Amino acid sequence: MARTPIGLVGAQPDPPFEITFDGRPVPALPGQTLAAALWGAGILAWRTTRDGGRPRGAFCGIGQCYDCLATVNGEPNRRACLVPARPGDAITTQEGHGHDRLGV
């Protein structure tokens, strides 16, 4: 059997659940962040940049770079690498600014 991260640590996760990314279902394991669930499904980009409209996803993985900003359940500018996935979460590609809700 191919080695996997799950196999390496002998993980026996609680049952997976579903979230959606731009409407399509993506499985998530309880305890994963949104970014981890997306990476697990092979999705590396969930935002486009303000000027170039270029795709971005998680880069630093620890909440420092803000490249992973996503719109989560309609709320923009959430750092997907920090926010835990919850059943039914709807992530949509965030374009440009979001709405700059955090105000800096």
Partner 1 sequence: MTASASEPDDVAGPPSASEPKGSAGTVADSLPDAARRSDVSYDLVVVGAGSAGLAGAVAASELGLSVALLDSSTQPGGQFYRHPAPTLGAVRPEALHHDWSAFADLRRRLDASGVDHLTGHHVWSVAKETDGTWTAHALTGADGSADAPVRIGARALLLATGAYERQLPFPGWTLPGVVGAGGAQAMLKSGLVLPGRRIVVAGSGPLLLAVASSLASAGARVPAVVEAAGYLRYGRTPRALVTNPRKAVEALVHAAALARHRVPVRLRSAVTEVHGTDRVEAVTVSRLDRDWRPVRGTGRRIACDALAVGHGLVPQIELAVAVGCSTRALPDGTLGLALDALQESSVPGLWAAGETGGVGGAELARAEGELAGRAIAARLLGRRTGVGATAGLRRRRDRMRAFADVMSAAHAPGPGWTGWLTDDTDVCRCEEVPAGRVREAVAELGARDARTVKLLTRAGMGWCQGRMCGTAVSCLAADGATPEPPSERRPFAVPVPLAVLAALDGPLDPTPASDGPPDPIPASDGPTDPVPS
Cβ contacts of residue 8 below 8 Å, gap of 6+?
Answer: none
Residue ranges in contact with partner 1 by CB under 8 A? 2-14, 29-33, 35-37, 39-40, 44-45, 49-52, 54-67, 69, 78-79, 81-84, 101-104
- By beta-carbon proximity to partner 1, the closer residue of 20 and 81 is 81
For position 59 contacting ligand FES by CB under 6 A, the verdict is yes
- Tokens, residue 24: 């399509």
Return residues touching ligand FES (CB under 6 A): 58-61, 63-68, 79, 81
